[in-house]
């Protein structure tokens, strides 16, 4: 099962930081996706690239069966600990370990840009039942906020060729196939309240930052901690993008 090198190395090293530092998602966004895709009691939803289960555990509130697919072992360990009630399996979007037509919906939170491609699109189509849908969601830094803009300026120095949802390649993977049709898009506001330690972990959880040499990673952490200015409560605003696609 192929995993992008940056994801395998970075998320393998940063699983604890990911769980501690990453935000969840707006309740309204989760409700919109769940309602639109019929994720209710008795339904089955497959959450791809589930990480530590930030989105998976929110889906549990619907009463649906949630199957979290995550290829990085360190992330799965955090997921199992943090999200009891979620069925956790080892797998990738290119090889989903679920039967044909076994899911009412598939979701991917902060992850689809890592595996968007023809193989994953075919696999998602395979596991969905007729009329099922795909829900995608990303939190992105609201760069109108001075602190978020400063963080973005730091991390962009190290991005290189690591995939990002900011590019349109993930969208092209869907529009290039007749298997899915666009079914909706919404934006939501989201605010994460952190302290300095959690702010540092938020940045260190980024895959290509986590994969840096120790001295570079420590230098990034120092720069981010300086931005925090020892404030006890720091508000980090995000813009949450959510997309729906329907199986044809």
Residue 227 lies in a domain: no
Residue 224 lies in a domain: no
pLDDT at 167: 62
Q: Please count the CA atoms within 13 angstroms of the CA of 28 that sit on its side-chain side.
A: 9
Three-state SS for 72? coil
Return all residues near 9 (Cβ < 8 A) that are at least 6 apart: 207, 210, 211
Count of domains for the chain: 1
Residue 174 lies in a domain: yes
Residue 227 in tokens? 């931005």
Residue 126 in tokens? 């395979």
In tens, the pLDDT along 178-222 reads: 999 999 999 999 999 999 999 999 999 999 999 999 999 999 999
Residue 107 lies in a domain: yes
pLDDT at 189: 97
Domain range spanning residue 113?
A: 5-139+163-188+240-247
CB atoms within 10 A of CB 117: 17
Digitized pLDDT (tens) for each residue of the chain, 248 residues in all: 577 777 777 788 899 999 999 999 999 999 999 999 999 999 999 999 999 999 999 999 999 999 999 999 999 999 999 999 999 999 999 999 999 999 999 999 999 999 988 999 999 999 999 999 999 999 999 999 999 999 999 999 998 766 677 666 788 889 888 999 999 999 999 999 999 999 999 999 999 999 999 999 999 999 999 998 767 789 999 999 999 999 99
Residue 177 lies in a domain: yes
pLDDT at 1: 52
pLDDT at 7: 73
Residue 150 lies in a domain: no
Residue 134 lies in a domain: yes
pLDDT at 134: 98
pLDDT at 230: 67
Beta strands in the chain (DSSP E): 44-48, 65-69, 87-89, 103-109, 128-141, 180-194, 234-247
Residue 230 lies in a domain: no
Q: What is the CATH number of the domain that holds 126?
A: 3.40.50.150
């Amino acid at each position: 099962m192929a995993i992008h090198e940056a994801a395998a190395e970075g998320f393998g090293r940063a699983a604890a930081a990911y769980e501690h530092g990453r935000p969840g998602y707006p309740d309204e966004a989760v409700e919109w996706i769940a309602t639109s895709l019929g994720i209710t009691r008795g339904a089955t939803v497959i959450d791809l690239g589930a990480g530590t289960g930030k989105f998976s555990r929110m889906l549990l509130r619907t009463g649906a069966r949630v199957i979290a697919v995550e290829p990085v072992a360190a992330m799965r360990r955090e997921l199992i600990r943090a999200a009891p009630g979620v069925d956790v399996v080892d797998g990738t979007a290119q090889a989903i370990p679920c039967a044909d037509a076994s899911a009412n919906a598939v979701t991917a939170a902060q992850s689809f840009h890592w595996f968007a491609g023809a193989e994953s699109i075919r696999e998602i189509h395979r596991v969905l039942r007729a009329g099922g849908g795909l829900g995608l969601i990303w939190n992105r830094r609201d760069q109108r906020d001075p602190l978020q803009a400063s963080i973005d300026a730091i991390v962009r120095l190290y991005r290189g060729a690591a995939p990002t949802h900011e590019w349109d390649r993930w969208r092209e993977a869907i529009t290039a196939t007749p298997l899915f049709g666009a079914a909706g898009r919404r934006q939501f506001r989201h605010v994460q309240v952190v302290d300095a330690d959690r702010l540092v972990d938020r940045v260190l959880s980024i895959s290509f930052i986590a994969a840096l040499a120790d001295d570079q990673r420590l230098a990034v952490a120092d720069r981010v901690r300086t931005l925090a200015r020892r404030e006890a409560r720091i508000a980090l605003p995000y813009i949450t993008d959510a997309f729906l696609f329907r199986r044809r």
